[in-house]
Amino acid sequence: FCSRRLRDLFGFTMDKMFSTGLFNQSAADVLDEAATAVFDDKTMKSKLPAAVYTRFKQSLVTGEVTSEEDMQAIADSIFGWARSKGAVAFAHWFFPMRGGSGAVGGACGAFKMDTLIDLEWSSPEGTKPFKATLPPERLFFGETDGSSFPNGGLRATHTAAAFTTWDRSSPCFVYEKVLRVPCSFVTHLGACIDDKTPLLRSNDAVNREGLRLLKAVNIGTDAKQIHSFLGWEQEFFVIKADLYRARPDLVNCGRTLIGALPARNQQADLNYFAPVPEAVHALLFNIQAAMLKLGCPMAVCHNEVAPAQHEMSPIYCQATFSSDNNVLFMEVCNNEAAKLGLAVLFHEKPFAGINGSGKHNNWSIGTDTGLNFFYPGKTDPARELFVIGIACLSYGLMQHNDLVRCAVAHAGNDHRLGAQEAPPAIVSLYPGTGFEAHVDSIIGGGELLGYKAEKKTADTKSTAAMPAPCGVEDRNRTAPFPFCGNRFEFRAVGSSQNCSFPIAMVNTIMASGMAHLASLIEGGMSTRDAVAQIYKENRNVIFTGNGYSAEWPDEAKRRGLPNRFTTPLATATFNSEKAKTVFEAMKVYSPEECDARQEVMYENYNTTLSVEASTLVQMIETGILPACATDLAKYSAMPSLKGERDAVYTSIKKETDQLKKLFASKPHEMVAEADYLCNTVKPQMQVVRAAVDKAEGLIQKDLYPFPTYEQLIYSHHS
């Protein structure tokens, strides 16, 4: 099954991956250590008493509290295992609502390290001796300050307590001598102030409403649990670390605020799938080895479209563990790059005019018995469930379109969405042209069965190369939610994001669709008629055309699909009454938590834009303008050669002064500030950039104060 899923996801099997040389001989040694640093199910089963293991596994289904006796047994087992792996400390690892677009990639996670020691409390001595140990309560629970993390007003200095509690569905692991314990993070009153907890709640919603739906349609009723699954595709740039440090914009903002395109940039498609530069090749293999040891098999790595851009992808797994792995992956990338004198950029758009980076989330819903809601299986019940599953998704995407847009709304992604390199900000569903026709047939009175999920072949019309097997439907890279054979690919997720929030949102809207369909059937409608009604009422969200076309925004408007093309436009919808209603119904966010999350989204956006504006002014005033003055002075003896330098350099000063003036006038109310930064300050930053980039082509080469694009994206290729 895993081999088939790997083939479906990435086009080859595990055996093929080894035979093609993706792993060299040195990496093959690493394969012997695969998953040795993670306390996964196999390890847990081998280390725990059988009864304790069984009760622990059952708690993941029922939500039962682990008893003190079992906590002790589990803690003792993990302690012994972690020490054997060299751990000297442990840490509760959680995911504050930091948002995307951070200057330092991989900062999605948070933890403090505690040494694996405690006092011998039974000792009668006043100064008690200490011993190496892991008390069970410290494995399962922790307390820290919640007011210093983004919390949307749910915590304050005088009400600061927040608690971490082990997410028992995600295994502990040892990384750099620290036992990491993946955790949920909640306030003293139980409100979530992290990305993990909403994902866990949305998993519960999918499980609850999915089991209810299966009972209503009488398919797969032997299932005990329903899971969401995720396979992410992480794009990123790699540059030299010394050049990174020489660019204040990269250090402070994660993206370049100025910089002219080199003559070649990404033209002629020279980079895509080309041989990986030697320095980066070493980095990717080191990352691959580290992640494999941590239980995350990185199945794919290759050059992406843009120069200095690369991608790595793992085999899919349960969504919570997969999201945790992605956060860990970004941290590992940073650490391994530093060892080689490199830097990894996770910003969605580090270089203007060059393709940005996304993190496609391949998402599916399936039962513990092997049924996949998004796979047109080989039996009639499985085929019927496929049609039912997409109906639920179409309902969720149409009725709660804004929530899916908010899932990917942040300052970095604004530079990428709709830029002919990523899906537009309009959220639509692409199930394939053949399935679209089947939907219309169902709406017209046809049966649920009848969709021909038959794979085709692409004939090379040559003797040597056989016809290649094709998917059921063609690929649509312009769609934010295309069908990919056995899953849907949420293509709009930004490269710097924690996957937890986007997956929590799509789980929520899917669970809502499941609940709605189950209600119709429970109310007396036949399954066919209920599915037909859902498709009819939500038909407009299904679009199989070109999402990059100039006509699509107008067509989307006629269909009632919103085009929230900036983060402030999207964020304004997150705490609407409709949003709060579905969040409460699915038990993912309380109204108070919803308001808090929106506030954090605004704060993240405002902080990001403010840092960018301040950094741009600083770079110009301390670097660009002095360089311009020095360059211009060199033409005093021959003014006829200075060309347009005087006018261009003067315009930089003028437009920068205007930027400073506008920025100083920004309002202080959160929503107004976001709108102002987006619609007034950001456009002026673009004006300043245009002037500086023009000057870059005029200033004497050795006077330009910052590494150029050409240096940044090509210098490590030798």
Q: What is the pLDDT averaged over residues 433-460?
A: 92
| pLDDT above 70: percentage of residues in the chain | 95
Helix locations, 155-300, DSSP H:
196-217, 241-245, 248-253, 278-293
Position 641, amino acid: L
Each residue's pLDDT tens digit, 142-171: 999 999 999 999 999 999 999 999 999 999
Helix locations, 274-416, DSSP H:
278-293, 319-339, 380-399, 401-406, 411-414
pLDDT at 471: 77
CA–CA dist 91, 111 (Å, integer) = 6
Each residue's pLDDT tens digit, 217-270: 999 999 999 999 999 999 999 999 999 999 999 999 999 999 999 988 888 778
Query: Tokens 């819903």 — which residue?
Result: 365
Q: Would you call 120 helix, strand, or coil by DSSP?
A: coil
From its phi and psi, is residue 60 left (phi > 0), alpha (psi between -120 and 50) or beta? alpha
pLDDT at 718: 57
Q: Are strands 89-93 and 178-187 parallel, antiparallel or unpaired?
A: parallel
CA distances from 151 to 82, 106, 142, 146, 185 (A): 33, 20, 18, 7, 11
Report the 10 Å Cβ neighbour count for 458: 9
Each residue's pLDDT tens digit, 486-500: 999 999 999 999 999
CA–CA dist 676, 662 (Å, integer) = 9
Largest CA distance in the chain: 92
Residues in the chain: 718
Q: Looking at per-residue confidence, does 421 or 190 come out higher?
A: 190
Q: Are 376 and 442 in contact (CB under 8 A)?
A: no
Q: Are 143 and 163 in contact (CB under 8 A)?
A: yes
Q: Are 481 and 398 in contact (CB under 8 A)?
A: no
Report the 10 Å Cβ neighbour count for 403: 26
- Confidence band for 16, pLDDT divided at 50, 70 and 90: very low
Instruction: Tell whether the model's pLDDT for residue 708 goes beyond 80.
Output: yes
> Taking the CA atoms of the chain, what radius of gyration do you get in angstroms?
27
Contacts from 60-64 at CB under 8 Å and sequence distance 24+? 60/168, 60/169, 61/224, 61/225
Q: Please name which of 656, 648, 654 lies closest in space to residue 628, comparing C-alpha atoms.
A: 648
Q: What is the pLDDT averaged over residues 44-49?
A: 97
Q: Looking at per-residue confidence, does 585 or 3 come out higher?
A: 585
CA–CA dist 657, 653 (Å, integer) = 6
Q: Please name which of 526, 544, 677 lies closest in space to residue 616, comparing C-alpha atoms.
A: 677
CA–CA dist 155, 97 (Å, integer) = 13
Q: Residue 702: CB partners within 8 Å, gap ≥ 6?
A: none
Q: Are 331 and 458 in contact (CB under 8 A)?
A: no
- Confidence band for 28, pLDDT divided at 50, 70 and 90: low
Each residue's pLDDT tens digit, 663-699: 999 999 999 999 999 999 999 999 999 999 999 999 9
Each residue's pLDDT tens digit, 399-424: 999 999 999 999 999 999 987 788 89
pLDDT at 21: 40
Q: What is the pLDDT averaged over residues 51-59?
A: 97
Quote helix, strand, coil % in the chain, to nearest 5: 50, 15, 40
Q: Looking at per-residue confidence, does 121 or 2 come out higher?
A: 121
| pLDDT above 90: percentage of residues in the chain | 87
pLDDT at 7: 40
Report the 10 Å Cβ neighbour count for 466: 10
Instruction: Tell whether the model's pLDDT for residue 2 goes beyond 80.
Output: no
- Confidence band for 102, pLDDT divided at 50, 70 and 90: low
Looking at every residue in the chain, the average pLDDT score rounds to: 93
Report the chain's terminal Cα–Cα distance, integer Å. 41
pLDDT at 575: 97
pLDDT at 106: 61
pLDDT at 13: 40
- Confidence band for 101, pLDDT divided at 50, 70 and 90: low
Q: Are 692 and 620 in contact (CB under 8 A)?
A: yes
Global confidence as pTM? 0.94
pLDDT at 1: 35
Instruction: Tell whether the model's pLDDT for residue 23 goes beyond 60.
Output: no
- Confidence band for 518, pLDDT divided at 50, 70 and 90: very high
Q: Residue 623: CB partners within 8 Å, gap ≥ 6?
A: 705, 706
Q: Residue 564: CB partners within 8 Å, gap ≥ 6?
A: 402, 405, 409, 425, 570, 573
- Buried residues in 349-375 as b, exposed as e (16+ CB within 10 A): bbbbebbbbbbbbbbbbbbeeebbbbb
Q: Please name which of 349, 415, 401 lies closest in space to residue 564, comparing C-alpha atoms.
A: 401
CA distances from 53 to 66, 67, 74, 179, 183 (A): 11, 12, 9, 20, 20
pLDDT at 414: 95
pLDDT at 716: 73
Q: Are strands 226-240 and 342-345 parallel, antiparallel or unpaired?
A: antiparallel
CA angle at 63 for the pair 59 and 66, rounded to the nearest 5°: 55
